[in-house]
Structure 1
């Protein structure tokens, strides 16, 4: 996955690597989750997160709720009812990673874990949306305060991310975080920070700082708690 990310940064058409990167992300997430939680739980949790993310994206495309009015271009394919398949896979892959972060930060579970996981997953979108918009993968009906992305998008992400945490938690129960998933979340944060700070043309220090600090604020305590176990 990291190799594909590096290759995309060196290519004149980085959007071509979006699908492969997401597929590799999903494969890594399921593999690490299977190691931590067992294959049956891992695949079931991933499938539940993918379906939850797809349902939210479909509602968003058709109604504008919960993210705001947007539409996907034809760059990402295949699409089902206007929603690219890789978008649903991304919800699943990073959903598992964010749940692992939350499980490390809030080992007791409950609503505190749901909130932590929702925050960890939404933090990723501080990178994701600016990158995908600049690549022309989707467009917003109206400009927003954060690199053209409206505040409603992040409110919607918090809501859908909480739902993802609930369905993954229902499958995994009291399962531990799994350091492989923590590594996946951390690698994604580091690669996105580096890309926005120095690789993308033009670079975007604001997104690099905002995303890096926010994802780091979840990754750092997750690793600290993990090593204390």
Structure 2
């Protein structure tokens, strides 16, 4: 399986990275989407066509991925976010290179992907329907943009493209409660070993920084 699909212009690099690991598109059985932002879904429709893989995504973000609902802008957390909210949805879609894609599995919180040994966890805040995929036996999770680790500095998602600080904090705290040795963020290096402790420290830092309980 593959988790997220990069931006459209990153297709060549993505396919080359897969090839280095001995994986061709036809080998994919599933493509798991953490959230609907275009830097995670930019090659989704093409890869689904190339591979015949089943696409799984959170049920709320699935409405955007399939084109049934416009992506819209982020929340009003930052000045940039407030500016982006004023842009017409059609302009956002054109900028993002959005190409709708069929979603085979619209997942709710706690749904199991038994064939893969994964559990889908709804962790909103960056988007309304953001998901993580947790492998309990391997003690790892693919967490999308809920947590970043750019320059090996664990942090929250980019707030200009997020919509709700309280939801982010709640989701980060929930992630910290998992038995988690490694967390794979959408941006930056792998968190771990000891990912649960790292994420718990991040949650405490965010609560203090944002003045939330």
Q: Same fold (TM over 0.5)?
A: no
Q: TM-score, normalised by structure 2?
A: 0.30
Higher relative CO (CA 8 A, sep ≥ 6), structure 1 or 2?
1
Please identify which structure carries the higher strand content. Answer: 2
Larger helix share, 1 or 2: 1
